[in-house]
Amino acid sequence: MKKLFISVFAVIIIFSCSKDESSEAEVLDFSVTSVSNNELVVESIQIDSEFNRIYVLFDQDLSEFSSFSLTIDIKLSQDAKTSSLNNGMLSFTHPDEVKTIEVEAEDGFKVNWYVYLIHHQLQNSGFENWFDNLGMNGRYYKEIGISEVTSIWATANMGTSIYAVYGTQPLDDGSNTLAEITTGKTSHVPVTAGTLFVGTFNLSGAISHPTDPKQATDFGLPYAFRPSEMNVKFKYQAGETYVQATLNETNNIFGGFTVNEIEGEDMCSIYAILEVRNGDQITEIGRAELYSETTDDVLTEITIPFEYALAEAPTHISVVFSSSKDGDLWKGAVGSTLVVDDLELIFE
């Protein structure tokens, strides 16, 4: 894969992102004044105050870089302070590491902010890292990432955890960990497609809109680059009985479903979307997508090209894997299983 390496020599460039003061433990402005490795170039910085996240975007692939440090200039809300910086620096031991900045308000109230390194490759794109998460049934299950607050990936596991159903789980083959995504069912819902996506699972949206699965997913991650292709290893086995479930009562998931067997075979979906987001306005500029029926029972590496409709640079990327491509329409086959590993974005 072609790598992009740009050197910074005599000039220190400060990239910053600001917001208005709104609370006592806020990060109002965050700037990188220098990088310890002069081959690394900061493209931009984004502050997400909803999730207390700070994204530092680098215009290259950091996968081959080990430890490096960022010199930080940070502005906090009035009278707030932090002791999380060592001489104004944040040191990273690998590009997937997420650093925590604890901000303490004047009255002692503390808030954690998280600093992510965003570059050409997505964090945990080999799906190696999983953690124990507490479900709504009071039991722990495996969720993707190192922790809930630092993972850029999400699943629908929390939404179905009340039924002890977990559609996305790690698969250990002895020397490697993969993601296994399966369509299941619960006592109330006859088709629950497994999913793995870049973004966050919106539990309040799932509870408020139980008949619209899309309300439970907040897709996307800040991203400023234009890959030409997407590589991924996958295999897929469709379930035996392909069905369409229909709500008996349009706005009541507990009113039951009518389930009809339909012709054809379930399909998995694998896709990435690049967007420009400006407030509530979202414009898709490029997409790479694959829909597949049953494959051979071995992992196969595929290359999916991005098709671009616009020449702009994106502001966000979404990547989605689902074991039933129309699962959000209650359509699929219980037992359909998609296994994925080693996602890589390719740049010409």
Give the model confidence (pLDDT) of 278-299 as tens digits.
Answer: 989 999 999 999 999 999 999 9
How confident is the model over 130-154, as pLDDT tens digits? 999 999 999 999 999 999 989 999 9
> Average pLDDT of 243-260?
91
pTM of the model: 0.89
The domain at 130-346 falls in which architecture? Sandwich (2.60)
Calculated CA dihedral for residues 319, 323, 324, 327, nearest 10 degrees: -70
Query: Domain spans of the chain?
Result: 15-118, 130-346
Lowest-pLDDT choice from 70-79, 206-215, 275-284: 206-215
CA angle in degrees (0–180, nearest 5) for 244-183-152: 125
The answer to whether 241 and 334 have CB atoms below 8 angstroms apart is: yes
CB 245 within 8 A of CB 324: no
The length of the chain is 348
Confidence band of 23 (pLDDT split at 50, 70, 90)? low
Query: Are the C-beta atoms of residues 37 and 68 closer than 8 Å to each other?
Result: yes
Alpha-carbon distance of 235 to 253, in angstroms, equals 32
What HEC string does the chain produce?
Answer: CCCCCCCCCCCCCCEEEECCCCCCCCEEEEEEEEECCCCCCEEEEEEECCCCEEEEEECCCCCCCCCEEEEEEEEECCCCECCCCECCEEEECCCCCCEEEEEECCCCCEEEEEEEEECCCCCCCCCCCEEEEECCCCCEEEEECCCCCCCCEEECHHHHHHHCCCCEEEEECCCCEEEEEECECCCCCCCECCEEEEEEECHHHHHHCCCCHHHHEEECEECCCCCCEEEEEEEEECCCCEEEEEEEECCEEEEEEEEEECCCCCCEEEEEEEEEEECCEEEEEEEEEEEECCCCCCCEEEEEECEECCCCCCCEEEEEEECCCCHHHCEEECCCEEEEEEEEEECC
Into which CATH architecture does domain 15-118 fall? Sandwich (2.60)
Give me the mean pLDDT over the 306-328 stretch. Answer: 97
pLDDT digits (tens, 9 = 90+) for 41-62: 999 999 999 899 999 999 999 9
Note whether 15-118 and 130-346 share their fold: no
The mean per-residue pLDDT over the stretch 178-190 comes to 95
**Phi, psi of 328, deg, nearest 5:** -70, -10
Euclidean distance between CA atoms 339 and 332, whole angstroms: 17
Instruction: Quick: pLDDT tens for 76-104.
Output: 999 999 999 989 999 999 999 999 999 99
Q: Does the structure show a pLDDT above 80 at 174?
A: yes
